[in-house]
Amino acid sequence: MTEMSDESGIFQPSWFHRRHFLQDTATGLGTMALCWLLGSDRAAAGESTRPSHYRPRAKRAIHIFSPGGVSHVDTFNYRPELERLDGKKLEGKGEIDTFFASPGVLRKSFYRFRQHGDCGAWVSDLLPHLATCVDDITFLHAMVAKSPSHSPACFQMNTGFTLAGFPCLGGWLSYGMGRENDDLPTFVVLPDPRGLVNGGTANWSNGFLPAEHQGTVFNMAAADPVTNLVTPASIRPESRRAGLDLVRQLNTSFAAQSPQDSTLTARLKAYELAARMQVSIPEAINLNDETQDARRLYGLDDPVVGPSARNFVLARRLIERGVRFVQIYNGGALGSPRINWDGHENIKENHDQQARLLDQPCAALLKDLKQRGLLEDTLVIWTSEFGRTPFTQGASGLGRDHHQHAFTCWLAGAGVKPGMSYGSTDEVGYKPAEHATSIYDFHATILHLLGMDHERLYYRHNGIDRRLTDVHGEVIHPILA
């Protein structure tokens, strides 16, 4: 249940042994089996295995996360006043807040902006493919984060908190929605093929939720995308089976003695899932059966775009097969601006390189989902952890500093009004001017679209009813279809 759960699981007194269980519940085993079969039938039919708080608009979600700090004033937030004020100091805003250095001068966008689609949304020439999708996108232009530092800001965007150790959005969705496919994980993470994000695995951690709700990493850049899934050829199948049976027996025994520890139970489930995944995963990750049209659409055969494009194609294949939540990382390698969006020294050089790996595959994903009818019940989310300053980093700099006070995120697909912009910044993109949106609000809205009330989805931990949105958050009703 999503409302009444705690860290203790099932209370099992010391006198409750296996013999008593078999004697006292033998007549109930048939009912238990029937319930399991009915639950499996519902899952196969595409229904949630756990009750929603209300009718969900979306059955699943894909989150594209572009860490490093994407410049909103160079992508989706057109501020024509920046052109007039180019080269001047920012004035009239009080004390100017920066992260690394003293503020430089206001700098107009390094790219030309144009209006696109029937909605007339402004998008820079940096993202020509995504510009063709604006009529399916809902932009939020006045997002506000708490921290200007990469790791805390990444943690907040992913978990709602700036500290490590809290459950991520995907973990909460796994906990709240349950499993739809018994042969695949509920929550899959597709890291950037070039390296991990700031904060690493804490970004997709289950935190204090039961261990089964942490993200399963599929690294398409590795020889074995799912670590330790394939049995080495040198190990005979019967030996492997015997070893797994022994480990299962030991874990089952320990789990019975420690019912409050979810780790062993999750490990048992992981072994069972891994056995099924040995059959399901090779088929799911085999992109060779993608059509030539799809390969061209995503850029799969492009030597530069291809490695990133594989994650976007795989995300679509996974949600088609019942995975609830897929998170794609577009930008990686800790502390390296060469392979994430951290454009301190030269925004144009940095963003040119990063955008090429996002623009075509991301636009292709939206178009592919729409063409297949999947966008009707799939929520697509794009975010960075914060934006970048409208002024340069240093008086003569070509880069921009971190900026948590205002930036742009967007949603597309199930339940949101397409071709809409919500919120706005001041004339230069420094602070929100209208409808400032917190990450708490953003998360509350995502949960709402997936059928969950953010105030009723909680887990009791250390005497506190913990939520993804802490004690904050309001659903952004104006953007709901």
> How much is the pLDDT for 268?
65
Q: Output the CA torsion sign for 406, 409, 415, 420.
A: positive
For 278, 299, 479, the CA distances from 423, given in Å and listed in that order, are: 46, 33, 10
Residues ≥6 apart with Cβ < 8 Å to 271: 244, 247, 248, 251
More confident residue, 16 or 396: 396
What would the two tokens of residue 318 be?
């996974």
> How much is the pLDDT for 10?
33
Cα separation, 322 vs 183, whole angstroms? 9
What would the two tokens of residue 48 be?
């949630």
Residue 335 pLDDT exceeds 70: no
What would the two tokens of residue 98 be?
């920066």
> How much is the pLDDT for 159?
98
DSSP string, 394-446: STT-BSEEEE-SSEEEEEEETTB-TTEEE-EE-TTSSSEEE--EEHHHHHHHH
For the ranges 100-109, 320-329, 455-464, which has the lowest average pLDDT?
100-109
- The answer to whether 166 touches 173, Cβ cutoff 8 Å, is no
pLDDT (average), residues 45-54: 59
pLDDT band, very low/low/confident/very high, at 262 (cuts 50, 70, 90): low
Neighbouring CB atoms inside 10 A of 223's CB total 6
Give the Cα-Cα-Cα angle 437, 404, 428 (nearest 5 degrees). 85
pLDDT (average), residues 407-422: 98
pTM of the model: 0.83
Question: Where are any strands of DSSP class E within 249-395?
Answer: 325-329, 378-383, 387-393
- The answer to whether 333 touches 57, Cβ cutoff 8 Å, is no
Cα separation, 167 vs 160, whole angstroms? 9
Q: Which residues pair with 480 in a beta bridge?
A: 416
For the ranges 125-134, 182-191, 383-392, which has the lowest average pLDDT?
182-191
Pairing of strands 113-116, 400-403: unpaired
The helix/strand count (H/E) of the chain reads as: 11, 18
DSSP string, 88-113: SPP-SSSSPP-SSS-EEEE---SS-E
For the ranges 33-37, 211-215, 254-258, 380-384, which has the lowest average pLDDT?
33-37
pLDDT band, very low/low/confident/very high, at 40 (cuts 50, 70, 90): very low
Highest mean pLDDT among 96-100, 167-171, 242-246: 167-171
Q: What domains can be seen in the chain, in order of their start residue?
A: 61-225+285-479 (3.40.720)
Give per-residue pLDDT as tens, 232-259: 556 666 676 677 677 767 777 777 777 7
Q: How far apart are the first and last CA of the chain?
A: 28
What would the two tokens of residue 354 be?
């990063």
Residues ≥6 apart with Cβ < 8 Å to 11: 259
What would the two tokens of residue 165 be?
């150790």
Residues ≥6 apart with Cβ < 8 Å to 204: 158, 168, 170, 171, 187, 189, 214, 215, 217, 327
- The answer to whether 79 touches 425, Cβ cutoff 8 Å, is yes
Residue 469 pLDDT exceeds 70: yes
User: Which run of H or E residues covers position 267?
Assistant: helix 262-284
Cα separation, 378 vs 315, whole angstroms? 12
Q: Output the CA torsion sign for 98, 102, 103, 109.
A: negative
* Mean of the per-residue pLDDT values of the chain: 85
> How much is the pLDDT for 3?
46
> How much is the pLDDT for 275?
60
> How much is the pLDDT for 18?
46
pLDDT (average), residues 143-149: 97
- Classify residue 193 by its DSSP letter: T
Would you call 190 helix, strand, or coil by DSSP? strand
Residue 274 pLDDT exceeds 90: no
For 242, counting Cβ atoms within 10 Å of its Cβ (0-12 exposed, 13-18 middle, 19+ buried), the class is: exposed
pLDDT band, very low/low/confident/very high, at 276 (cuts 50, 70, 90): low
Single-letter amino acid code for the residue at 327 = Q
Residue with tokens 């697509």: 380
pLDDT band, very low/low/confident/very high, at 194 (cuts 50, 70, 90): confident
Residue 27 pLDDT exceeds 80: no
Count how many Cα atoms sit within 13 Å of the Cα of residue 48 in the half-sphere of its side chain. Answer: 23
Cα separation, 213 vs 207, whole angstroms? 9
Residues ≥6 apart with Cβ < 8 Å to 305: 298, 299, 356, 357, 360, 361
- Classify residue 47 by its DSSP letter: -
Give the Cα-Cα-Cα angle 376, 281, 48 (nearest 5 degrees). 40
> How much is the pLDDT for 240?
62
> How much is the pLDDT for 452?
96
Pairing of strands 216-217, 187-190: parallel
pLDDT band, very low/low/confident/very high, at 229 (cuts 50, 70, 90): low
Q: Which residues pair with 400 in a beta bridge?
A: 392
Residue 390 pLDDT exceeds 90: yes
> How much is the pLDDT for 41?
38
For the ranges 135-144, 189-198, 440-449, which has the lowest average pLDDT?
189-198
For the ranges 260-274, 379-393, 412-426, which has the lowest average pLDDT?
260-274
For the ranges 8-12, 372-376, 452-456, which has the lowest average pLDDT?
8-12
> How much is the pLDDT for 466?
97
For 250, counting Cβ atoms within 10 Å of its Cβ (0-12 exposed, 13-18 middle, 19+ buried), the class is: exposed
Cα separation, 211 vs 9, whole angstroms? 13
Residue 20 pLDDT exceeds 50: no
> How much is the pLDDT for 269?
67
